[in-house]
């Protein structure tokens, strides 16, 4: 059975939900989400939203900080547009019910925090659970909206495009390449369902689960990037993987981030002997951008052979620490660490993809009717390194832009929705009895990416990774077409695709810039590489 909808939104974080709520005023919206609707990177975001509200702040300052962090690759027009539209979008969140820490009695008199790379305090936050506050407000509105259908435990498999329609025997000649929906695995039934949509929006989040150590949840497997690439969309700047400097290091802790805001409130990084080391690397010390701090920690660990460094905020007032960081304080206590008295063991971990599906100012990809917003997209805002707390800001602004653009396109598209889509073909497939193949390849990909395509890279390591990922992809593709789909197999295929694209992009950039550091080319090369890295599938 084919399910029709006006807007198909794949993903349920801040980008997808913001878009869905607005688009629902113009048609029916179907939201596809892999797990529970509230499981997303948004819900884990501790820091906040960077936006200009403070008296000491200005659009020009925020633009300048963003451009500096991006190390020459930000699109200045995009940066200006996002920064100037940020306050409007934050006000909308408040109107939707999101509650932030306040400094006074005014509706938008926010208490502002500071994070690395920012010249002033401009981080709007809800203690240290900002993402959860935003997600809860958006989910509540989406659930009460009669024009929105939410399908949990549904995993998008492939986008359906004009070219796939041709291959399935339906001849359509009046269009160029366009997206008309997606094949989606219903985890409850095990069936792959066909969704026919006028507009498809990818908001699937990032891909940092491609690395062994990450701050991201298990769902961050790069599904949107991989599906868009397979459908013929351009992807950009995937070599720029942001490693957050401070992920909790503890054998029982999984993916727990220690927010940038902790350093913003005065925490210092020390080695096992209590020595502060950041001044050896940069005059900005702990408030340097994430790429600088992560490389400094990586260097210290390699020099000393230690398993972690430590983040120490114990010199601050205990009551302040507990009030400002209640979630971090409580979580660390679970592991026997009292951050009011003890330094926190931390290591860098893969955190954010600055690259993704290449889009224009409206979130449009180069496949017609296909939009991408949030971490799935590469808009030109982040360049070679994302400024802290600009991610939620970008998601809000681009979700709004994509909404405005897509509703203008909708009437004309709905007049041409008479295309016959082929159902998912499971002919000659059987149930798999070799789950070990999936788990082994999953583990191998994540280890080779961590060891060869991590914080510090070399051509030799990258070439070794490229050879191995090709072999793994060949194994996965053979397995993929022989057995019935499972969510594990879908995700494995996607992280393999993203791994290949990250490696390919890193090999193309023969310099060091922002988050991409190659020991063979330690300097920035503006003559040859002051450009984005674009990759497009060859059919």
Number of CB atoms found within 10 A of residue 190's CB: 12
pTM above 0.85, yes or no: yes
User: Residue 417 — very low, low, confident or very high, per pLDDT cuts 50/70/90?
Assistant: confident
Q: Is the pLDDT of residue 406 over 60?
A: yes
- Tell me the per-residue pLDDT of 182-231, one tens digit each, with 9 for 90 and over: 999 999 999 999 999 999 999 999 999 999 889 888 889 999 999 999 99
Q: Where are the domain boundaries for CATH 3.90.700.10 in the chain?
A: 245-351
Out of 1.20.1110.10, 2.70.70.10, 3.30.160.110, 1.20.58.100, which CATH number does the structure's domain 435-532 have? 1.20.58.100
Residue-level pLDDT at 477: 85
Q: Is the pLDDT of residue 244 over 80?
A: yes
DSSP-derived secondary structure for 427-461 = TT-B--S-HHHHHHHHHHHHHHHHHHSSSSB-HHH
Check if the beta carbon of residue 396 is closer than 8 Å to that of residue 186. no
- Mean pLDDT, all residues of the chain: 91
457 an active-site residue?
A: no
Contacts of 287 (CB under 8 A, 6+ apart): 114, 115, 116, 117, 263, 264
What span, in angstroms and rounded, lies between the C-alpha atoms of 393 and 374?
9
Q: Is the pLDDT of residue 179 over 70?
A: yes
Phi and psi, residue 162, nearest 5°: -55, -45
The top-scoring range by mean pLDDT among 108-112, 163-167, 397-401, 489-493 is: 397-401
Residue-level pLDDT at 397: 98
96-121 in b/e form (b: 16+ CB < 10 A) is eebebbeeeeeeeebbbbbbbbbebb
What span, in angstroms and rounded, lies between the C-alpha atoms of 154 and 190?
10
- Tell me the per-residue pLDDT of 116-172, one tens digit each, with 9 for 90 and over: 889 999 999 998 788 889 999 999 999 999 999 999 999 999 999 875 444 444 444
Would you state the structure tokens that stand for residue 250, as one six-digit string?
């503890």
User: Residue 62 — very low, low, confident or very high, per pLDDT cuts 50/70/90?
Assistant: very high
Half-sphere exposure of 376 (CA within 13 A, CB side): 38
Residue-level pLDDT at 166: 43
Residue-level pLDDT at 124: 95
What span, in angstroms and rounded, lies between the C-alpha atoms of 35 and 28?
21
Residue-level pLDDT at 433: 65
- Tell me the per-residue pLDDT of 70-84, one tens digit each, with 9 for 90 and over: 999 999 999 999 999
Q: Where are the domain boundaries for CATH 1.20.58.100 in the chain?
A: 435-532
User: Residue 308 — very low, low, confident or very high, per pLDDT cuts 50/70/90?
Assistant: very high
Would you state the structure tokens that stand for residue 317, as one six-digit string?
């007032």
2-239+354-414, CATH topology level: FAD/NAD(P)-binding domain (3.50.50)
145-168 in b/e form (b: 16+ CB < 10 A) is eeebbbbbebbbbbbbbbbbbeee
> Span 384-405, mean pLDDT?
96
Check if the beta carbon of residue 268 is closer than 8 Å to that of residue 292. no
Regarding predicted confidence, which is higher, 216 or 235? 235
Residue-level pLDDT at 165: 46
Annotated catalytic residue: which of 290, 331, 457, 513? 290
What span, in angstroms and rounded, lies between the C-alpha atoms of 495 and 473?
10
Residue-level pLDDT at 163: 56
* In the chain, % of residues over pLDDT 70: 94
What span, in angstroms and rounded, lies between the C-alpha atoms of 427 and 378?
37
DSSP-derived secondary structure for 297-365 = HHHHHHHH--S-EEEE-TTS-HHHHHHH-HHHHHHHHHTT--TTTSPEEEEEEEEEES-EEE--TTSB-
Closest CA to 154 of 182, 132, 179: 182
What span, in angstroms and rounded, lies between the C-alpha atoms of 185 and 156?
6
User: Residue 414 — very low, low, confident or very high, per pLDDT cuts 50/70/90?
Assistant: confident
Architecture per CATH, domain 245-351, reads as Alpha-Beta Complex (3.90)
Q: Where are the domain boundaries for CATH 3.50.50.60 in the chain?
A: 2-239+354-414
What span, in angstroms and rounded, lies between the C-alpha atoms of 506 and 483?
33
Would you state the structure tokens that stand for residue 210, as one six-digit string?
């491609």
SS3 278: helix
């Amino acid at each position: 059975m084919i399910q029709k909808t006006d807007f198909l939104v794949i993903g349920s974080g801040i980008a997808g939900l913001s878009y869905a709520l607005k688009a629902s005023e113009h048609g029916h919206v179907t939201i596809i989400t892999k797990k529970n609707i509230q499981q997303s990177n948004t819900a884990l975001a501790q820091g906040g939203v960077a936006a200009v509200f403070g008296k000491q702040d200005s659009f020009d300052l925020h633009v300048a900080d963003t451009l500096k962090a991006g190390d020459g690759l930000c699109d200045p027009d995009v940066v200006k547009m996002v920064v100037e539209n940020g306050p409007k979008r934050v006000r909308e969140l408040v109107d939707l019910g999101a509650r932030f820490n306040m400094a006074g009695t005014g509706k938008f008199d926010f208490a502002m925090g500071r994070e690395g790379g920012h010249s002033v305090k401009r981080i709007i936050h809800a203690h240290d659970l900002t993402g959860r506050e935003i997600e809860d407000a958006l989910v509540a509105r989406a659930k009460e909206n009669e024009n929105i259908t939410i399908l949990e435990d549904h995993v998008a498999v492939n986008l359906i495009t004009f070219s796939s329609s041709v291959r399935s025997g339906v001849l359509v000649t009046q269009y160029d390449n366009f997206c008309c929906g997606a094949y989606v695995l219903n985890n409850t039934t095990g069936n792959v369902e066909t969704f026919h949509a006028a507009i498809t929006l990818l908001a699937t989040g990032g891909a940092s689960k491609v690395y062994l150590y990450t701050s991201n949840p298990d769902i961050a497997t790069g599904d949107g990037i991989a599906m868009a690439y397979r459908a013929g969309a351009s992807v950009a700047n995937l070599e720029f993987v942001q490693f957050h400097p401070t992920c909790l290091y503890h054998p029982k802790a999984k993916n727990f981030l220690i927010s940038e805001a902790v350093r913003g409130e005065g925490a210092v990084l020390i080695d096992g002997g209590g020595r502060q080391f950041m001044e050896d690397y940069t005059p900005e010390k702990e408030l340097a951008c994430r790429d600088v701090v992560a490389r400094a920690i990586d260097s210290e660990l390699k020099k000393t052979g230690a398993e972690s460094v430590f983040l120490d905020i114990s010199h601050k007032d205990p009551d302040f620490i507990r009030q400002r960081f209640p979630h971090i304080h409580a979580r660390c206590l679970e592991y026997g660490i009292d951050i009011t008295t003890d330094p926190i063991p931390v290591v860098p971990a893969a955190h954010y993809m600055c690259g993704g599906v290449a889009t224009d100012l409206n979130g449009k990809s180069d496949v017609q009717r296909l939009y991408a917003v949030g971490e799935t997209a590469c808009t030109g805002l982040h360049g070679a390194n994302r400024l802290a707390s600009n991610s939620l800001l970008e998601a809000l602004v681009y979700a709004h832009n994509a909404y405005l653009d897509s509703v203008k396109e909708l009437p004309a598209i709905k007049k041409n929705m008479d295309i016959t889509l082929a159902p998912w073909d499971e002919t000659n497939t059987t149930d798999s009895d070799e789950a070990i193949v999936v788990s082994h390849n999953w583990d191998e990909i994540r280890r080779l990416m961590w060891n060869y395509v991590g914080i510090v890279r070399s051509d030799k390591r990258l070439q070794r990774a490229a050879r191995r990922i090709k072999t793994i992809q060949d194994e996965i593709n053979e397995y993929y077409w022989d057995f019935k789909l499972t969510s594990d197999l879908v995700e494995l295929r996607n992280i393999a695709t993203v791994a290949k694209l990250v490696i390919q992009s890193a090999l193309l950039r023969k310099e060091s810039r922002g988050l991409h550091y190659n020991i063979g080319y330690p300097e920035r090369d503006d003559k040859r590489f002051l450009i984005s890295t674009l990759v497009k599938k060859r059919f």
